[in-house]
Amino acid sequence: MKLTAVFTLLAALALPTAALAQSATPPEPYGIALEGYSYPYPVHLLPIVWEGRSLRMAYMDVASPTPNGRTVLLMHGRNFPGSYWAPTIAALSKAGYRVVVPDQIHFGKSSKPDELPVNFDVMAAHTAALLDHLKIAQVDIVAHSMGGMAGTRFTRTYPDKVRKLVLSAPVGLEDYRQYVPLIPRERLIDQEMALTAEGYFKQLMGIYNPQLTREQFYPFIEVRARMMNSAEYPRWVRSYVSSFYAMWGQPVVHEFPLVRQPTLIMVGSRDRTATGRAFAPPDLREKMGNFPKMAREVAARMPNARADVFEGNGHMLHMEAPERFNSTLIGFLNQP
């Protein structure tokens, strides 16, 4: 898929920036399960019971017109719903892969149980339940950002269900507890509640350093901007803040040497994303988030892994360099 076509598709998934700013009547808010926001493929809901709560896990299940008999599971990052995988889904489907894209509980169109913590072991169990529901015995996992931590834990917990593991700009290549002290939950909630749409945009651009224009990236900011006007937004914030403590307090970096599946780690040379960097002491802050260095070190400690550094790119590889990303990904998956 050409780069211009990719971003035309992405922009179509949210109200254009200019229209949002110029509209005399503010657009209807999105619900905190993204009610009102369209995904690129049909969304299904799997009933989940967790700690006595009846929840729903949203997912897309996209068949290939030329199936090769294999399935790819795409795992999203913290700040994005599964819909942002649209260009990758299209490329994988064209290459013959069935593609399953869950929104984990707490994210996207799935339930937001703000009183239950985000937990990568629980995510693994929910993902296994989804694959069992779909009668899929084995998948290739492609995971971005926070999804890299979830995908790694899933691979460790259910090794027979995973054929290959692909980590794209994965957070969790370091143990953030070594740099960042415990942050009070109310402080994080207050910080998130105070964010404006423009503040959120600047925050993500600063953290992720994506080599994207405002027009390319801002549609994803608008998703949260329209949720800000929902009466349930404070509950969404409480749910969202829980994911910080999962990334901070449930490290997976120590588990990588135990992953035996063929693994590809793709990172951008300009990516310095690091969970909680702003809260780290100044002398430690600059040591965090060196993705090229960390990816090579982690790959060297794994039995069957390699790192691929995308020169000039940041944290959003599948959006910044979609042609190279898709070619590298599919080439790796197609290898015996």
Q: What is the pLDDT of residues 17-41, one digit of tens each?
A: 444 444 457 789 999 999 999 999 9
Residue 87's alpha-carbon distances to 145, 295, 318, in angstroms, are 17, 24, 8
What is the pLDDT averaged over residues 158-178? 98
Checking if the pLDDT of 2 tops 90, the result is no
- Cα radius of gyration (the chain): 19
pTM of the model: 0.92
Return the pLDDT at 24.
52
Return the pLDDT at 27.
86
pLDDT tens-digit map of 106-134: 999 999 999 999 999 999 999 999 999 99
DSSP 24: S
What is the pLDDT averaged over residues 216-223? 94
3 state SS of 50? strand
Checking if the pLDDT of 4 tops 50, the result is no
In whole angstroms, what is the distance from residue 14 CA to residue 20 CA? 10
- Tell me the pairing of strands 53-62 and 44-50: antiparallel
Length of the chain: 336
In whole angstroms, what is the distance from residue 160 CA to residue 139 CA? 9
Confidence at 15, pLDDT banded by 50, 70, 90:
very low
List the Cα angle 121/123/127 in 5-degree steps: 120
**Amino acid of residue 34:** L
3 state SS of 244? helix
Confidence at 11, pLDDT banded by 50, 70, 90:
very low
CB 75 within 8 Å of CB 151: yes
What is the pLDDT averaged over residues 309-320? 98
What is the pLDDT averaged over residues 59-88? 98
- Tell me the pairing of strands 44-50 and 305-310: unpaired
Return the pLDDT at 49.
97
The CATH number for 3-334, chosen from 3.40.50.1820, 3.30.428.10, 2.40.50.140, 3.30.930.10, is 3.40.50.1820
Torsion of CA 255, 248, 49, 227, to 10 degrees: -140
In whole angstroms, what is the distance from residue 163 CA to residue 93 CA? 18
pLDDT tens-digit map of 179-195: 999 999 999 999 999 99
Residue 80: CB atoms within 10 A of its CB come to 21
Residue 37's alpha-carbon distances to 117, 156, 192, 197, 215, in angstroms, are 25, 34, 21, 17, 18
Among candidate residues 173, 171, 166, the one with its CA nearest the CA of residue 142: 166
Least confident of 20-24, 150-154, 158-162, 232-236: 20-24
In whole angstroms, what is the distance from residue 19 CA to residue 4 CA? 20
- Tell me the pairing of strands 305-310 and 53-62: unpaired
In whole angstroms, what is the distance from residue 262 CA to residue 48 CA? 31
